[in-house]
Structure 1
Amino acid sequence: MRDAVLKELISQVHTANYRVYGARKIWRELNRQGHTVARCTVERLMRELRIQGAVRGKRVITTLPGGQVDRAPDRLDRDFVAQAPNRCWVADFTHIKTWSGVVYAAFVVDTFSRRIVGWSAATVKE
């Protein structure tokens, strides 16, 4: 019985605030209005109603899962230990979130010394 009433209140608050409020803001608003409710209850009911707040930012995808692209052959057979310097290098690619956007960084590491022997950073994936 109480869940039905709370669902209606949650829907009203969510709609009244341009459908951008998430569980934390809806929970605070309901408590300000005098409806004592736990935050976990608001989260559960929002999941049941299939509503969520606006999500800021854009998700960065650096890897395509599930074999969507051809992978380079594994010439090291997952053995990343070299017997001497400059015999075996491996590369890594990642992204870093900054205030002004996303920076993509690529590193080349010598597996013997575990030192970075080269790197590159850019604002676009290339």
Structure 2
Amino acid sequence: MMIAHLAIWTQDLERIRAFYETYFGATSSAIYQNSAKQFSSYFLSFGEGCQLELMHRPDVPTDSTDPLVQRTGLIHFAVSVGSHRQVDLLTNRLKTDGFRVVDGPRTTGDGYYESVVLDPEQNRIEITI
């Protein structure tokens, strides 16, 4: 068994797609649009493994006051970049470009080397080896 994809509801579909293409080397599918539901999405691929689905619908709220209602965002996901050096380089690039680095790079108590950054809609991304 494997995870096929993760999904993020987003307020700005094009901006978030460009972020993952620019900083994480994602390759995007063509846009899917369902005008009846005012829904649009992209599937992003990262070479192999799990895909990321970016979704937009204007009625999805940005807050999480009701856990049974759809809302934008997720808690976090991790992207493996292959080495300590690549974690450092990507983290520094994102920081230089104005994205917030929440933590690290550092070695965690359980031995992972990682940093945590926020994407344009404040979703947490762990960058790890």
Which has more helix, going by share of residues?
1
Query: When the two structures are superposed, what TM-score results if normalisation uses the length of structure 1?
Result: 0.20
Query: When the two structures are superposed, what TM-score results if normalisation uses the length of structure 2?
Result: 0.20
Which has more strand, going by share of residues?
2
Larger radius of gyration: 1
